[in-house]
Chain A
């Protein structure tokens, strides 16, 4: 047997060994991925894209469902309620990523109302009176810290 044939065989063995190690590592990785579920706290019933659905929310939904039903809730009912909560979460996440907070008037209004209500509580707790002036000051502060760029075609105030 020539030296060249021997070296080819050695190379093939090495390749085979490498491939085997690769397959083994791939299989191990796939197995470990199966256990790589997102962490769910004891107060969660499900997670949708890492957003947890809380046990309290599930209980509340079950309560609402039960109040509409004369018979006791079944396993199918509980599963249905959970699936509806997952659907709702999916729709909400889709709405957020689609930018509906800016483009849909109802969502925009609801978000503005919510943020303003929160701000007013903070303002009233800290200053007590002059809430409108405090809000104006706060907006001025937001403007001062924001990166604002005017279009060249627009005559900015």
Chain B
């Protein structure tokens, strides 16, 4: 039986097995790795800005020779395991796989129905937060602040420490600190606070306008909704490929080594 198998194998070596030579797309094979007409065209386009069929035979051969050198170097890279060990190549590989996995998400059009359904399901993401237009005046003494409050004319002798534009709560806290912001939240539009004593100064707060929190209509936030839709689609696509790869992989965690690390 073994002899028969060997005989068949020896005879088969002379059979005309379909190879790259029969495929018009392939120009040359280097250690069974083909260099194709598409590669030549692509390289020609990159190097000369024209397709390969506009080049002279010498020019084509120069490019093919370059591709052959590249192929030989790539084979050396594979032999040395560079793809798995070189940090730059690893980074490029991971990025390329991610780009491939999420490519559909960025190229597929989103129908108005899909966008509307996504917007309705995630409306809380598209809220314009509470914003206040507030002025805050700083005084060196309580008396000075009381006099300013008692005057019936608007405060013009000093500038507000806040810009005259609507600000969300977190920005106000950054400018004024929590205590003053909490006091500001108690004011209605047009109202001025009583003098507020703080360690560094005395303040008068005047609320100019309050814009309540509101859900923005889809027409106003269409671009943000699309971006969020695609971002989530990208995450899902990435999760999917990682789940598939994990299912096919053999993964072992060295718990003992990790425990030792934690105790160090």
Contacts and interface: CB of A to CB of B under 8 A. Distances in A.
B252 to A, nearest CB: 5
A115 B82 contact: yes
A147 B31 contact: yes
A3 interface: no
Given A49-B249, A90-B249, A106 B97 contact: no
B93 A92 contact: yes
Interface in A78-134: 78, 82, 86-88, 90-96, 98, 100-102, 104, 106-116, 118-119
B94 A88 contact: yes
Nearest to B71: A102
B82 to A, nearest CB: 5
B153 to A, nearest CB: 47
Interface residues of B, number: 58
A96 B95 contact: no
A106 B242 contact: no
B93 A95 contact: yes
Q: Which of A38, A42, A46, A95 has the most CB of B within 10 A?
A: A95
B22 to A, nearest CB: 8
Contacts of A95: 83, 93-94, 96-97
Interface of B: 19-21, 23-24, 26-33, 57, 61, 64-65, 68-70, 72-78, 80, 82-84, 86, 88-98, 100, 241-242, 245-246, 249-254, 257-258, 261-262
Interface of A: 37-38, 40, 42-51, 55, 58-59, 78, 82, 86-88, 90-96, 98, 100-102, 104, 106-116, 118-119, 139, 142-143, 146-157
